[in-house]
Amino acid sequence: MHEEFPTETPAVVTCGLPYANGDLHVGHLRTYVSGDVYARALDRIGQNVAFVCGSDMHGTPIAVNAAEEGVDPETFARRYHEQYEETFPEFNVEFDNYGHTHDETNTEMTRSFVRSWIDNDHVFEKEIQVAWDAETDQPLPDRFVEGTCPYCGEKARGDECDEGCQRHLEPGEIEDPISTITGNAAEYRTRPHKFLRLSDFQEYLQEFIDRLEGTDNAKNQPREWIEGELQDLCITRDMEWGIDYPGEEEEDLVLYVWVDAPIEYVSSTKQYTERVGAEEYDWEAVWKNHGTETEPDGGEIVHVIGHDIIQHHTVFWPAMLRGTDFNEPRAVMACGFVNLDGKAFSTSRNRAVWASDYVDSGLDPDLYRYHIVTGSEFTADVNFSWDGLQERVNNELVGTLGNFLYRSLLFAERNYGGTPDAGVSEEVEARIETAIEAFGEAVNDYRVRGLGRVPVELAKFGNEYIQRNEPWKLVDDEPEAAAQVIRDCVQLAKAIAVLMEPVLPGKAEALWNQLGEDGDIGDVDVETALSAPKATFEEPEELFEQIEDDRVEELNRQLQERIEAATADEAEGSRDANASETDEDTAADLEPIADDRVSFEEFKELDIRVGEIVSAEPIEGADKLAKLEVDIGLETRQIVAGIKQLHDLEALPGTRIVVVANLEKSELFGVESDGMLLAAGEEADLLTTRGDAEPGTKVQ
Ligand SMILES: [Zn+2]
């Protein structure tokens, strides 16, 4: 059991590193905003905390895209790194340190981690099958190869099954590998590689997972992996871009990107200490192990990530830390994704609200922060839309929060020149104490959304309080009672300023200034919510303004036009070469027509027939395959086809299809396949006949 926040020991909050491979959109920003909110909230409750991150510069997608653009990977990645450094502050995301994985600190830190794994005998060498492009005679690490996930049968890219079961894939695991360099089928060749023996940490990880705090998805999802047999992690790749493996003579091996990426959390914290001094913040107190070998201890390490990288942070990463006798994560907070108008973002189709679009809209960054933080539970997917933003802003920020603040502060300034001379009432003091408690509980329960709700709930109370007491009716006849109500309202406003700072830092600062308070609101702690307000302050201004309908219509129109333009471009084949490949719907990208022509004679060698499906059943143990009996007139054939998940097998008998009848026989999953059915695209749209051609009729 961990001690509650705030603790004596310092804490660090990290965010999953952005991959320096493309522009950021408002979907990406959810993790960073959430991390920023959480770190600010820890700070408010008096926790010594650093908030760090950095750009992930290595790995194959960057190498692939840099090569396509004809620049070296470092130049390519640095451009995005610099862009990210500028973008985060535009959303009030303020890291204490923002480094990158290719800098000297991280290169040294990574190599020292790996050296200590070697010294502690957790690394071994093994010959493995590596995908290889025969035409260009080069190995195909990670994203240079695409194929089928061996676990779920979905299309998988390199080291992850990003469209299917989300599993990490080891080299050699991907089935039916295709080279992304030439589009050819890849071969597998034997190469020696280095492995981190994860099985050394199995027992440790099983205990670790019981200690781990954070969101339920992060605590539960890893159990399946940790309780089963742990597969050792290949930590090297055959490529040049990356951090060199620190061993003896393996000069053509670099470390796998998932080795040096999380180590950047440590490196970035170290850089922060180097800047402010260990007196103020000591990275070693946080990261080094000050406990025992089986139960490491140190500072409070909190990782904020997207839920697609839970395995990396709850299995690989704690093992990597343990292997070098460092402290372990206290909590992992895994947030859901962001959808755009109810559908996934698609950067390749330009179906995205880019960070720069939001900035250009002129809307305050705090509005986005509020929308994304309170739009759903942290672990659930959240929807971004301009209409949704408008609704939340107009109803909650303008209608509830802004309304309470403006009416009460205006009344206070007009009638009393500031805060009336009275003490705060017991009722209001107790209500603020409840809010402070709820705030502290949200921090300790890792509920980011709760942090956004607290100030709005308090404002709701304020509106109800002022309505119930009607100070405008009291002011002439019962001046003391009126002063009491307004005194309470100013206290509520001050409490709201403090409690809204994590989610709405810019607006909180503005409110702080309106209240005539000195200093930076980022330096006060939650108890300040109960300290006496300043006696005088200026006439307030409205903190939030309505987003008008025509503004939203304009923003929607711009987005729609862009999506349409991108779709048209795509149809003409002039798709942006830099488009990120992380989207779900690239399936519509058409392959170019084959260059090589075949003669009619060659075509005639294929014996293509009309067939009728007699029966269709799944093949046990195979994710995609189905066994069909197909009547092709002269005989009935057994054909194996990868359509199990794509069609309702029971509905198929009686369906006319088209079959290549003279293909060599093959065996798939131990089942003989005598022929091949024709189907279009990844959804396996079955080819059929338009008229009533009988089974066995030749297709020509
Ligand atoms: Zn999968």
pLDDT confidence of residue 670: 75
- Encoding tokens for residue 79? 């451009």
Q: How far is the CA of 310 from the centre of ligand 1 (A)?
A: 15
Instruction: Please say whether the dihedral angle defined by the alpha carbons of residues 359, 362, 363 and 365, taken in this order, is positive or negative.
Output: positive
User: What spacing in Å lies between the alpha carbon of 8 and ligand 1's midpoint?
Assistant: 43
**Which one-letter DSSP state was computed for residue 595?**
S
Report which of 35, 25, 3, 256 is spatially closest to residue 130, judged by C-alpha positions. Answer: 256
**C-alpha 648 – ligand 1 centre gap (Å):** 21
Percent of the chain as helix, strand, coil, to the nearest 5 = 40, 20, 40
265 CA to middle of ligand 1, Å?
Answer: 28
- Strands 123-133 and 187-196, by their bridges, are antiparallel
Output the CA 242–ligand 1 centroid distance in Å.
26
Gyration radius (Cα) of the chain, Å: 30
- CA distance linking residue 84 with residue 81, whole number of Å: 5
What's residue 629's pLDDT?
A: 93
Are the C-beta atoms of residues 649 and 629 closer than 8 Å to each other? no
Query: What pLDDT score does 592 carry?
Result: 64
CA-to-CA dists, residue 360 to 36, 357, 546, angstroms:
22, 5, 18
Cβ neighbours for 123, distance < 8 A, ≥ 6 positions apart? 114, 117, 194, 195, 196, 197, 235
Spatial separation of the C-alpha atoms in residues 304 and 30, rounded to whole Å: 10
Distance 100 CA to ligand 1 centre (A): 30
Calculate how far, in angstroms, residue 161's C-alpha sits from the geometric centre of ligand 1: 5
User: What's the CA-to-centroid distance between 230 and ligand 1, angstroms?
Assistant: 17
The confidence score (pLDDT) of residue 249 equals 66
Residue 430: predicted pLDDT: 98
Instruction: Give me ligand 1 centre to Cα 481, in Å.
Output: 67
Half-sphere exposure of residue 182: CA atoms within 13 angstroms, side-chain side: 15
Q: What is the DSSP letter of 142?
A: G
Give 584 Cα–ligand 1 centroid separation in angstroms. 14
The whole-number pLDDT of residue 577 equals 38
- Distance in Å, CA 465 to ligand 1 centroid: 55
Q: What distance in angstroms lies between residue 160's CA and the mean position of ligand 1's atoms?
A: 8
Q: How many CB atoms lie within 10 A of CB 359?
A: 15
Task: Give the pLDDT of residue 585.
Answer: 39
| pLDDT value of position 342 | 79
Distance CA 59, CA 242 (A): 7
Q: How far, in Å, from the CA of 24 to the mean position of ligand 1?
A: 26
> What's the gap in Å between 624 CA and the centre of ligand 1?
12
> Do residues 217 and 307 make contact, with C-beta atoms less than 8 angstroms apart?
yes
Contacts of 318 (CB under 8 A, 6+ apart): 201, 204, 205, 208, 328, 329
CA–centroid distance, residue 616 to ligand 1 (Å): 24
Distance (angstroms) between ligand 1 centre and the Cα of 26 equals 27
pLDDT of residue 570: 60
Distance 151 CA to ligand 1 centre (A): 5
CA of 209 to the centre of ligand 1 (A): 23
For the whole model, what pTM was predicted?
Answer: 0.80
For residue 554, the 8-state DSSP code is H
Helices 29-44, 365-374: inter-axial angle, 10-degree rounding? 90
Q: How far is the CA of 430 from the centre of ligand 1 (A)?
A: 52
- The residue ranges of the chain whose pLDDT is under 70 are 248-251, 569-592, 595
Task: For residue 477, give both structure tokens.
Answer: 């006849």
Q: How far is the CA of 517 from the centre of ligand 1 (A)?
A: 55
Q: How far is Cα 327 from Cα 447, in angstroms, rounded to an integer?
A: 24
Distances (CA, A) of 697 to 602, 604, 611: 20, 15, 8
CB atoms under 10 Å from CB of 658, counted, come to 19
CB 331 within 8 A of CB 373: no
Ligand 1 centroid to residue 405 C-alpha, Å:
51
